[in-house]
Structure 1
Amino acid sequence: MLLPWVSGLGAGIVFLHFLQKLLLPYFWQDLWFLLKVIRCGIRIERYRRQGELVTVLDTFLSHARRQPRKPFIVFEGDTYTYEDVDKRSSRVAHVFLNHSPLAKGDTVALLMSNEPDFVHVWFGLAKLGCVVAFLNTNIRSHSLLHCVRSCQPRALVVGADLLEAVEEILPSLPADLRVWAVRDSVPRGVASLTEKLRTASDKPLPRSHHVASNLKTPSLYIFTSGTTGVPKAAVITQLQALKGAAGLWAFGCTSDDIIYITLPLYHSSGAILGIGGCIELGATCVLKKKFSASQFWNDCKKYNVTVFQYIGEICRYLCKQPKREGEKDHQVRLAVGNGVRSDVWREFLDRFGNIKMCELYGATEGNICFMNHTGKIGAVGRTNFFYKLFFTFELIKYDFQKDEPIRNQQGWCSHVKKGEPGLLISRVTEKNPFFGYVGNKKHTEKKLLCDVFKKGDVYFNTGDLMVQDHENFLYFCDRLGDTFRWKGENIATTEVADIIGMLDFIQESNVYGVAVPGCEGKAGMASITLKPNKSLDLEKVYEQVVTFLPAYACPRFLRIQEKMETTGTFKPKKFQLVQEGFSPLKISDPLYFMDNLKKTYVPLTKGLYDQIMLGEIKL
């Protein structure tokens, strides 16, 4: 009697397993990932209810006590243990405490390249309860001055290699702003942090200096172009930093991993997901000053790297390197990042081995994120019934001509069908708030959509076009509005247009991104009209953009139009221009290409166009 019953039970289990694989192939992966998300949320909530608010800094200090000798940062062959970073950051805190008194909650701006002192200064200021504003190291002149002013810092700390950029704007900085440089010899008006650190105490500071009153207090300001113009300082709360720091853990990283960070630390990916992620795990990171495709795998082998962070451009650059023996001879098992194309993804795996690509999606200031925990090629994440219980998001219909969501006669937005592209919006609630930007409230308000499906509802507008397929995987399509992405950076079209518009012969400029075969993101293009009786000076246009814009934001192409077409609200039309691209076969207007060797823009001939399309010219 027992044998038939056992056989029947076994057959039933096999059948149910087959049925699950057929109808719910990702059930166990979804469940396991969901349990991790819940576990993280329960831990944060437990700390909150106990009145014990544990921040990323608190986690670091705990590791420094429990594993002081463990390497935390490896940089250019030098190793900095958890204890080393703790003591050096305490020295920083004591310098500011004694020589530039800062109150809890004060803002300090930080302009530094990837180096250990970036972390030392960041943590030292955090130990005083300061909000640290990370400045993009590529910006100069007007943009840099705007960013410094907009976050209203009490002090500015600058790295040795970036001091020249600050000297340019020094006379225009607020008189009460103290500028510190991580260098011995400094110009007048700048204090040497390096000199003061030599004699500063490395004793721990009382926790009362930095203890958080609640997790919604600001921790960092990270500048982002977003979708509404000039760079804005997004508010990163202690809660957001904690959630971001859990990303590596959620993908399966452990304290034994060695994580390679080549992304800039002024971005949330490098600082929060990367450095914060290492702290969450108690792991070691290998920090690189700047990404190098030729040195990448040598570094991975030299330092026994097991995980690296990426953006799509990094994977593409690595695939373009000359092939050599032993490319799969490494210990890398995971890669965490965003923006890699499906074709590059496949080529990367074929060439470099069985590395799990952990693609994710999220905006620095956003209240929504997706994580591709299954490894499905091309997808940025996956949703299901349980996920939407925690994060309410929708994909809605969008009018590309009017550059706004489509609303019906009653004024409500409409959902797109599965398989159709739609604007990603995320419900703003008490549990998923949107903290906005520092300063001008209009910037924050522009990122919100109100009365979307019913009166009174509020959604965060990501500005991104996404597709959800019939298996509930999500795919990134394009960036909408006044921003496009190039070289891993968001480029605000209005900011570029304003810089070009400063030239006395320019009437109007309309900036947008155009697709280039084989390249991630979109290359910048500017459509220009000239003032009456004025002629085009291509050398001056070149000089203007390279002087006042980061290299990645300089328009690669120019189009000279007689008249600028506008929408009903007098905004320059972009949709048709984007569709036409930069082909001299389709466009009768004069076209020009940025030539860095000649330091000017040159006519975009058919031959030059063909070279660009074939990838023979590097953009």
Structure 2
Amino acid sequence: MLIWIICAAVFIGLLIRNPYFFQDVHFLITLFRVRLRVSRYRERNYSILDRFLDVVKTQPHKPFVLFKDETYSYQDADKLSNKVARALLDSGAVTEGDTAALLVGNEPVFLWLWLGLLKLGCPVAFLNYNMKSQSLLHCFHCSGAKALIAAEEYKDTVEEILPHVLEQSVRVFILADQCQTSGMESFRDKVNQASTEPLPSGVRSHFTLLSPAVYIYTSGTTGLPKAAVMTHLRIMSMTTGLALMGITSSDVIYTTLPLYHAAGFMGFTATIERGMTFVLRNKFSASNFWEDCRKFNVTVIQYIGEIMRYLCNTPKKDSDRCHKVRLAMGNGIRAEVWREFLNRFGNIQIKEFYGATEGNLAIHNYVCKIGAVGRVNFLHKKAFPYAVIKYDHAKDEPLRDSSGFCIEAAKGEPGLMVIQITQRAPFIGYARDLKQTEKKKLHDVFKKGDVYFNTGDMLCISKDNFIYFHDRIGDTFRWKGENVATNEVSDVINVADGIKEANVYGVHVPGHEGKAGMAAVLLKDGEKFDCIGVFKHLEKFLPAYARPRFIRIQNSLEITGTFKYMKVKLVEEGFDPNKITDPLYFLDEREGKYIPLTQEIFSSVITGKMKL
């Protein structure tokens, strides 16, 4: 009897010291099952395409994709993707192993195109349809694509880069019934005429789980966007990883996130892996969000922080809690928005996670701790080693001790998140860019010869072992759910009329996720700032989210001893006219120009009266 009392006392003491004991154990059990499933897939060389074809056989008539008033079953998707594959095969545009690039928005044809190309054994590059001119051309060349398929609405965008694309003997298709532009071919008519018969597996005979499946673009920490390589094995690993969130085959998942982003795309592949139903919307609409959820009986939603904030900012309705949503999966939600969302829309489990598109590990907040992106679990960390290390912001590099090794940050201290590169957690890198791939690696971190993936993010581990996002480092900021490389923006500003140099960085705006773009600008001698001309120049070459919201005119731009622009002080000063004597300008999109940043505008921005 005494032994039982002692055991009970020890167990109670354990629970007091670790109130999340049961959640930690449940997470580890689920993780073990997920890893076991991935191992079985690997042994069988079983890809997401194999899984899709199996689901087609077992539940052909189950709704697979819902879009507006359209419903497509798994069988419908199989036949439509067969038509895509046969149209491409008959045209001779691609053969097994050739890459095709898609410039298509959130619509079902995006999904059929990807599945069809998968059936041909062709990797696919997902181009960001917000990209313009040189940035778009750069992204296309990164993939080495032999074919470009674009939606009709992006025809003008393609025409801007068409001469350069055609020089590479690339076939260019427009999703239309006819196309009169020289160098472009219609594609919808070819698909309509193609057979729905399945393709023989021999057309993808060299296909393995280590073959590239998708290229997804990320700004990373420097330079132009880079094409992160997603192999078939990585897709299966990431997709099954979403099972850690608690999704099941009976769920209906709703996404308004761009399919060219990893998060939105993984929502689709998770649908296939679990045999769920996928509800797709072309663009996020705060006013229609819950109506869609009710209309389609949605049980799981995908989000980024901005989506949750926009939903909380909509007028309150009596129907706010009238829905079947039980789970929200995503990242970037601020603690105050998290609380407000739960109070208003009901008891929805919010499963925040942290990970990079090209990264080698994802961290999950499986206990739904408000504000946290994850939780340290000893056994998980043992299997997939990661650390938060001290960082020298002045030198823009990790801080090292006298032996040359990195130093772990103390509990509660922000530091750089790094993840060890191992066979279990590989870092594949970027397509056709060995230099940038190597830049993301940190060598000799804790011992000679070890290699870690540099996430470029500052995180903090609390005393109770929860992980919190702190900030990004390097030449990048995140705005409107997109990563923006400051060097890319600077390069565009530098060739605007009257501009000599530009130093771009991100600044915090109260009430907003991420950071808004700001540029400290040095004018050419004798030149004045052209408020309209600069706006038109940026509008032509940069997507809306990458255009600086604020511009600061300086007499000189400070640089470091290694000739890098100094940004720390500029970031700290922000865009407050009370602290800055330099002329400040604000991006007025309605007027189509930059206007002087007055005290009145500043107050409207920080109080949220003026939307950015």
Common fold: TM-score over 0.5: yes
Q: What is the DSSP-based 3-state SS (H/G/I as helix, E as strand, rest coil) of the residue aligned with 2:539?
A: helix
Secondary structure of the 2:336 match is helix
Structure 1 runs not aligned, ≥5 long: none
What pairs with 1:166-565 in structure 2 (closer than 5 Å)?
166-175=158-167, 176-186=169-179, 187-210=181-204, 213-272=207-266, 274-565=267-558
- The answer (yes or no) to whether the contact 2:501–2:523 under 8 Å persists in 1 is yes
Kindly provide the amino acid, as one letter, of the partner of residue 508 in structure 2. Answer: A
In 2, Cα distance between the equivalents of 1:252 and 1:396? 31
- Paired amino acid for 2:604: Q
SS in structure 1 of the partner of residue 193 of structure 2: coil
Shift in Å, 1:33:
1.3
**Two-structure CA RMSD over aligned residues (Å):** 1.4
1:55 equivalent in structure 2: 47
Partners of 1:293 and 1:317 within 8 A in 2: yes
Matched, 1:99 2:91: yes
Q: Which amino acid aligns with 2:557?
A: M
Structure-2 separation of matches of 1:337 and 1:495: 27
Output the CA distance in 1 between the equivalents of 2:526 and 2:295. Answer: 62
Q: What secondary structure is seen at the aligned counterpart in 2 of 1:246? A: helix
Q: Structure 1's 560 and 333: CA in aligned 2 closer, same or farther, altered over 3 A?
A: same
More divergent stretch after superposition (312-321 vs 196-205): 196-205
- Choose the corresponding residue for 1:575, options 568, 590, 612: 568
Other-structure match for 2:110? 118
Contact 1:244–1:276 (CA under 8 A) maintained in structure 2: no
Letter in 2 for 1:111: L
Provide the secondary structure at the position in 1 that maps to 2:330: strand
Q: Aligned partners of 1:12, 1:252: CA distance in 2, in Å?
A: 35
CA distance in structure 2 between the partners assigned to 1:67 and 1:314 by the alignment: 33
- The answer (yes or no) to whether the contact 1:338–1:359 under 8 Å persists in 2 is yes
Once the two structures are superposed, what CA deviation does each residue of 1:514-571 show, in whole Å capped at 9, x if it has no partner? 0000001000000000122322212111111111111011100000111110011101
Query: Structure 1, residues 585-613: CA drift from partner, whole Å, max 9, x if none?
Result: 11111110011122111111111111111
Deviations 1:262-309 (A, max 9, x none): 10000010012x001111110001100000000000111111110000
In the TM superposition, residue 16 of structure 1 has moved relative to its aligned partner by: 4.6
Partner Cα separation in structure 2 for residue 207 and residue 471 of structure 1: 52
Cα separation, 2, equivalents of 1:210 and 1:470: 51
Shift of residue 406 of structure 1? 1.2
Contact 1:183 1:194 in 2 (8 A): yes
**SS of residue paired to 1:198:** helix
- Kindly indicate whether the alpha-carbon contact (under 8 Å) linking 1:539 and 1:599 is maintained by their aligned counterparts in 2: yes
How far residue 411 of structure 1 moved from its aligned partner, in angstroms, is 2.0
Check whether the contact 2:497–2:533 (CA below 8 A) recurs between aligned residues: no
Structure 1 position 472, deviation (Å): 1.2
Q: Deviations over 1:438-473 (max 9, x none)?
A: 112111111111122222211111000000011211
Deviations 1:158-210 (A, max 9, x none): 11222221122212213310011111132332111110112111111122333
Q: Give the one of 17, 23, 30 matched to 1:23.
A: 17
Number of residue-to-residue matches in the alignment:
610
**Which segment is superposed worse, 11-20 or 277-286?**
11-20
Could you say what secondary structure the match of 1:350 adopts?
helix
Name the aligned partner's letter for residue 239 of structure 1: L
Render the CA deviation track for 1:360-385: whole Å, top value 9, x for unaligned. 11100001210111111111111121
User: Comparing 399-408 with 466-475, which one deviates more in the overlay?
Assistant: 399-408
Displacement of 1:229 in angstroms is: 1.4
- Partners of 1:210 and 1:281 in 2: CA distance: 24
Q: Return the offset for 1:408.
A: 2.4
Q: Quick check: 143-152 or 420-429, which moved more?
A: 143-152
Distance 1:173 1:426 in 2: 38
- Deviation of 1:9 (Å): 7.5
Q: Aligned partners of 2:9, 2:428: CA distance in 1, in Å?
A: 49
How many Å separate the matches in 1 of 2:434 and 2:590? 43
For residues 353 and 316 of structure 1, the distance between their equivalents in structure 2, rounded to whole angstroms, comes to 15
Paired AA for residue 389 in structure 1:
K
Aligned AA (1:259): I
Is residue 249–residue 280 contact of structure 1 (8 Å, CA) maintained in 2?
no
The residue matched to 1:478 in structure 2 has which SS? Answer: strand
Residue 333 (structure 1) shift: 0.2
Residues 210, 374 of structure 1: CA spacing in aligned structure 2 closer, same or farther, 3 A cutoff? farther
Does 2:593 correspond to 1:600? yes
1:64 matches 2:64:
no
Which AA in structure 2 matches 1:226?
G
Q: Distance in 2 between matches of 1:233 and 1:493?
A: 17
Q: CA deviation at 1:403?
A: 1.6
- Give the Cα separation in 2 of the matches to 1:402 and 1:510: 17
1:142 maps onto 2:142 in alignment: no
What's the counterpart of residue 75 of structure 1? 67
Supply the distance in 2 between the matched residues of 1:294 and 1:285 (Cα, whole angstroms): 20
Matched, 1:162 2:160: no
The reply to whether residue 587 of structure 1 matches residue 580 of structure 2 is yes
- Aligned to 2:254, the other structure's residue is in SS state strand
For 1:210 and 1:355, locate their aligned partners in 2 and report how far apart those are by CA, in whole Å. 43
**Cα distance in 2 for residues equivalent to 1:291 and 1:561:** 38
Query: Closer, same or farther in 2 for the Cα pair 1:318/1:211, shift >3 Å?
Result: farther
Runs of 4+ in structure 1 deviating by more than 4 angstroms, as ranges, are 8-14
The offset of 1:216, in angstroms, is 2.3
TM-score (ref. length: structure 1): 0.96
Q: Offset at 1:494?
A: 0.4
**Structure 2 unmatched runs, 5+:** none
Are the aligned partners of 2:93 and 2:146 in contact in 1 as well (CA < 8 Å)?
Answer: no
Give the C-alpha shift of residue 213 in structure 1.
Answer: 4.9
Aligned-pair distance for 1:18? Answer: 2.4
TM-superposed deviation, 1:45? 2.1
CA offsets, 1:451-502, max 9 Å, x none? 2222221111100000001121101011110111000000010000000001
Partner secondary structure for residue 310 of structure 1? strand
Cα displacement string for residues 294-349 of structure 1 (whole angstroms, at most 9, x for unaligned residues): 00001111111100000000000000000111211110000000000000000000
> 2:331 & 2:4 partners in 1: Cα distance?
43
SS in 2 for 1:490: strand
Matched, 1:38 2:32: yes
Q: Cα deviation per residue 1:389-431 (whole Å; 9 max; x = unaligned)?
A: 2211111111112221112233221111010000001111122
Deviations 1:73-126 (A, max 9, x none): 000111000000011001111111111242222110011000000000000000
Which letter maps to 1:133? A
- Look up the SS of the partner of 2:338 in the other structure: helix
Secondary structure at the aligned position of 2:161 is classed as: helix
